[in-house]
A and B are shown apart, each in its own frame.
Chain A
Amino acid sequence: MTLQFNDETFRDDYSFHNSERAIKRFPFPFDKDSYMYVVNMEQHRGGPSDSIYEMRFDVDEHYVSEMRDRAMVLADDPLRCQSLPHMTLAGWDLLELIMVSKSEDYPDLFQLHRDGDKWHWINKPLGIDDHFTFMDETTLPYGPMEYITRQTQGDFCVLDQRDDNLWMDAGTITTQADWSLDFDIGMNFFEWHAPVPLAHEKGIFVRALKFLLNIQQGAPARRLNWTMTVNPLLDTSPENYHKWGIQKTSLTPENIGAKQHLRVELQTFFRLPRSNALVFPIRCYLCAFQDIVSVPKWGRRLHRVIRDLPEELATYKGFIDNRPMMLDYLSKFDDGQDTSNGIWPELDSEPPLKT
C-alpha cells in the first residue's frame, strides 16, 4: 500500500477531506442502533487488513497535515504539551514504543537504526533524519515525549501509576474534544473524569480504572469514543472555545451534510516498560455526515443513535441545540430496514437505501 498524503487544513478554509479509502476505514463507533456507556475495552492486537486497528499507531492520509496543525497549535500555546519532572523516563518509553512500532509497521515510511544508545531515526513523510543518544535529552531538539508526539497523529496522555490510581502527569494535547491538559495536569483518574455525566453513577469509572491499572506489558487495549464537531476542527479545546464554539451556530439544512462531522476517538492503552507508566493515545478521526451516509448501514444507524440518545449525553457532547437539524438531515437516510451488528460498513451485504 502506498500512502498519498493530503495537503489540507483543519482551520480557516477547512480543506480537510476523506478519500473513498478513508471513508471505508473510518472507525464508525456504533455496533448497534443505540448507545450507552459501557466498559467497551478490547485487546489492541491488530485487526482487519487496512483497518485503523491493524497497526499499533495508525498512519493515514492526514498524517502530514495533522502534524502541521499540531505545530501551529503548539506555537500559539506551548502549555498544550507538558511533562512533570518525574515523567521524563516515561517520555523515553513512549519515544521507544512509537519508533519501534512505526519502523516495524511502516518500514517504507519510518526507519530506526540502533547501536546501543546511539539511535538514528528517519521519518520520510516529515523529512526528519536525526541522530541522538537514547536517554540523553540534550541530544534532541525537544524532550522525548514532545519530540515523538510532534511526529505522531493523536493526542497523548502519559499517566503515572501510583496509589492504585492514574495521574495525568504528562501529555501532548492539541486535538481534544473540549478538555484541557493545562487544567487537568496532575489530576487523578476520578478528578479528570468528574465532568462526565451518568457514567459515575453506573460505576463505569471504578471498573475502567481497575482494568487500566492491570494493563500489562505486551498486552495493549483499545476502545472507541465519539462526539460531534462542526467543521473539521482538530483543535476543539476549551482554550479556543471562543473561536470554535460559535461555529456550532453556523449549521443550516443546506450545509449540514458537509459541515457536521462525527468525531471518533480511537483510544489505546499501552503499559510503558521502563517507567511502569501508562500511555493513553487518543487518535481523532473526523468524517462529514454526507460521507457517513454514503455507507447505507451507517446512515440508518447514526439516525437511530442520535434520535434515541439521552438528553444528558447530547448536552455533554455539545450538540443538543443542533440535534433537531441533524435528525432532519439523517432521517432521509433511514428507510427503517434492519442493520447488522458490528461497526463494519458491510457494503457488500447491506441493502442500499430504499427511495
Chain B
Amino acid sequence: MSGAEKIAVRVTEVTPLNDLVTRFRFEPVDGGLLPTFSGGAHTVVEMQDGAITRLNPYSLMSDPFDQSAYTISVRRDDEGRGGSLFMHKSVSVGDEMVISNPVNLFSLDLRAKKHLMIAGGIGITPFLAQIKQLDRAHGNWELHYACRSQALGSYVDYLTDTHPNDVNVYYDDQDQAIDLENLTDRQPLGTHIYVCGPKGMINWVRAKSTDLGWPREAIHYEEFLAPQPGKPFEVKLAVSNKVIQVGEQESLLEAIERAGVDAPYLCRGGACGMCETRVIDYTGNFIHRDHWLEDDEHASGEKIMPCVSRFEGKTLVLDR
C-alpha cells in the first residue's frame, strides 16, 4: 500500500500455548531496532501462502518499549479463510516474513484516572502490551478476563503471577461471569472502559455501560473482523479500467490488490476507514460487514469497505 515501509523480520520463536493459540516472536532481519509503539497497536503480517498473499492484523502483545522483538499470539480459526491456519501450520523458526509498522486503533486514553480492561479469549493480547505500558508509568488499571476454560486461558498464569491484585479471571465452563453492573458501579470517577473480545462481548459491554450512564467517550473497544468467504462476484474498477473476479475465499480488497491496483488500508478489519471506496454503479445487494460506515451509508449504496464487505448481484463499478 501507499504508506510506511514494511519491516522484514525473522521468526525466532514459535510457542504453542494451548490447543488453539500459538505465540510468534519476530526480530528484525537487519539486526537493527524495531520501532517503539503504543499499547493496543497491531501489525499487519504478510503471509505468502502459495500463490495467495494473505495480510492479517494481529495485536502486538510485547512490551511497547522493547525494540529488539515483537510478539503476537494467533488463535487458530478452523472455519476461517486460512490466515491463522497458515501461521499455525506453515510458519516455523527461522522463516522470514514481512510486517507493517505498528498502527494503533485501540490506544489508551491517557487522561483516564483508571483503566478498566475487559478481555474475552484471544482479546487479551492488546491488554498485555497496555499493561506493560501502564506499569512503566505507574498507571492505575484492573483487568477482567473471561476464558472458555482453564486449559484455554492464554497468559492466565503469567497475569495472575505478576499482578495478583489487579487480574480477575472468569471461566465459562465453570459458569463464572463478569458482573458488569457491580464492576462498573464501584469505579472511581474518570475511569475508562476498554473491551476486546468476541463481538457479543463487545456489544454487551457497550450496551450495558451506556445504559448505566457511562459516557460514550469513556468506552473503548476493538474487534477485528476477519473477512468472511462468500459467493464469487465480478467488479469493474473504473479508474484503472480493469474487470476483476473476487473469489470465494478472498476479500474484495485482496482481489483489488491482486489486480495490481493500489488501495490504501490500515486495519483490514472494517474498523479504520482507510479503504473506504466510492461505488459508481451497481445492480444487486451489498453485504456490508464493517464497523466504519453508518447505517444510512450502508443503505445508500454509495460506499463500500472492501476489506470485509462483499457484493451479490450483476454489476458493481467502483472508483478505484
A binds B: yes
Interface residues of A (CB under 8 A from B): 84-87, 89, 135, 160-163, 210, 214, 216-219, 273-276
- Name which residue of chain B comes closest to A85, CB basis: B111
Contact A276 B3 (CB under 8 A): no
Known contacts: A216-B266, A218-B5, A219-B4. The answer to whether A276 contacts B101 by CB under 8 A is no
Question: Which residues in B have their C-beta under 8 angstroms from that of A163?
Answer: 217
Q: How far is the CB of A249 from chain B (nearest CB, A)?
A: 45
Alpha-carbon distance between A161 and B274 when the two chains are bound, in angstroms = 16
Question: Which residues in A have their C-beta under 8 angstroms from that of B136?
Answer: 135
Across the interface, B3 reaches (CB within 8 A) one of A87, A161, A216, A273, namely: A216
Alpha-carbon distance between A171 and B241 when the two chains are bound, in angstroms = 46
Question: Which residues in B have their C-beta under 8 angstroms from that of A86?
Answer: 109-111
Binds A, one of B34-42, B244-252, B253-261: B34-42
Known contacts: A89-B137, A219-B101. The answer to whether A274 contacts B107 by CB under 8 A is no
Q: How far is the CB of B303 from chain A (nearest CB, A)?
A: 13
Residue B272 interfacial (CB < 8 Å): yes
Alpha-carbon distance between A214 and B65 when the two chains are bound, in angstroms = 22
Q: Which of B36, B40, B266 neighbours the largest number of chain A CB atoms within 10 Å of its CB?
A: B36
The 9 tightest CB contacts between A and B, nearest first, are A218-B4, A219-B4, A86-B110, A276-B38, A276-B107, A218-B101, A217-B101, A86-B111, A273-B36
Q: How far is the CB of A8 from chain B (nearest CB, A)?
A: 38
Residue B103 interfacial (CB < 8 Å): yes
Known: A216-B266, A274-B65. 14 other contacts (CB 8 A): A87-B110, A89-B110, A135-B136, A214-B266, A214-B272, A216-B101, A217-B4, A218-B4, A218-B5, A219-B101, A274-B36, A274-B37, A274-B133, A275-B110
Query: Mask for B98-111, Cβ within 8 A of A = 1, else 0?
Result: 00011110010111
Query: Mask for B36-68, Cβ within 8 A of A = 1, else 0?
Result: 111011000000000000000000000011000
Q: Which of A86, A87, A161, A214 neighbours the largest number of chain B CB atoms within 10 Å of its CB?
A: A214
Contact A217 B137 (CB under 8 A): no
Known contacts: A162-B109, A214-B266, A217-B102. The answer to whether A273 contacts B4 by CB under 8 A is no
Alpha-carbon distance between A61 and B5 when the two chains are bound, in angstroms = 32
Alpha-carbon distance between A219 and B109 when the two chains are bound, in angstroms = 23
- Name which residue of chain B comes closest to A162, CB basis: B109
Residue B273 interfacial (CB < 8 Å): yes
Q: How far is the CB of B172 from chain A (nearest CB, A)?
A: 32
Question: Which residues in B have their C-beta under 8 angstroms from that of A217?
Answer: 4, 35, 37, 101-103
Interface size on B, residues (CB 8 A): 27
Question: Which residues in B have their C-beta under 8 angstroms from that of A218?
Answer: 4-5, 35, 101
Can you pick out 13 interface pairs between chain A and chain B where the beta carbons lie within 8 Å of each other? A86-B109, A160-B110, A163-B217, A214-B272, A216-B3, A216-B4, A218-B4, A219-B4, A273-B38, A273-B102, A274-B37, A274-B64, A276-B107
Q: How far is the CB of B113 from chain A (nearest CB, A)?
A: 11
Alpha-carbon distance between A135 and B109 when the two chains are bound, in angstroms = 19
Contact A274 B38 (CB under 8 A): yes
Contact A276 B41 (CB under 8 A): yes
Known contacts: A89-B137, A275-B110. The answer to whether A216 contacts B38 by CB under 8 A is no
- Name which residue of chain B comes closest to A117, CB basis: B65
Known contacts: A216-B3, A216-B266, A274-B65. The answer to whether A161 contacts B107 by CB under 8 A is yes
Q: How far is the CB of A254 from chain B (nearest CB, A)?
A: 50
Query: Mask for B259-273, Cβ within 8 A of A = 1, else 0?
Result: 000000010000011
Alpha-carbon distance between A86 and B104 when the two chains are bound, in angstroms = 18
Contact B38 A275 (CB under 8 A): yes
- Name which residue of chain A comes closest to B265, CB basis: A214
- Name which residue of chain B comes closest to A274, CB basis: B36
Question: Which residues in A have their C-beta under 8 angstroms from that of B4?
Answer: 216-219
Question: Which residues in A have their C-beta under 8 angstroms from that of B133?
Answer: 274
- Name which residue of chain A comes closest to B192, CB basis: A162
Q: How far is the CB of A7 from chain B (nearest CB, A)?
A: 39
Which residues 1-33 of B have a CB within 8 angstroms of A? 3-5
Contact A162 B38 (CB under 8 A): no
- Name which residue of chain B comes closest to A134, CB basis: B65
Alpha-carbon distance between A114 and B257 when the two chains are bound, in angstroms = 41
Question: Which residues in A have their C-beta under 8 angstroms from that of B107?
Answer: 161-162, 276
Alpha-carbon distance between A218 and B41 when the two chains are bound, in angstroms = 14
Alpha-carbon distance between A274 and B38 when the two chains are bound, in angstroms = 5
Question: Which residues in B have their C-beta under 8 angstroms from that of A210?
Answer: 273
- Name which residue of chain B comes closest to A90, CB basis: B110
- Name which residue of chain A comes closest to B103, CB basis: A216
Alpha-carbon distance between A276 and B102 when the two chains are bound, in angstroms = 10
Q: Which of A89, A217, A219 neighbours the largest number of chain B CB atoms within 10 Å of its CB?
A: A217
Question: Which residues in B have their C-beta under 8 angstroms from that of A162?
Answer: 107, 109, 217
Which residues 125-141 of B have a CB within 8 angstroms of A? 133, 136-137
Question: Which residues in A have their C-beta under 8 angstroms from that of B102?
Answer: 217, 273
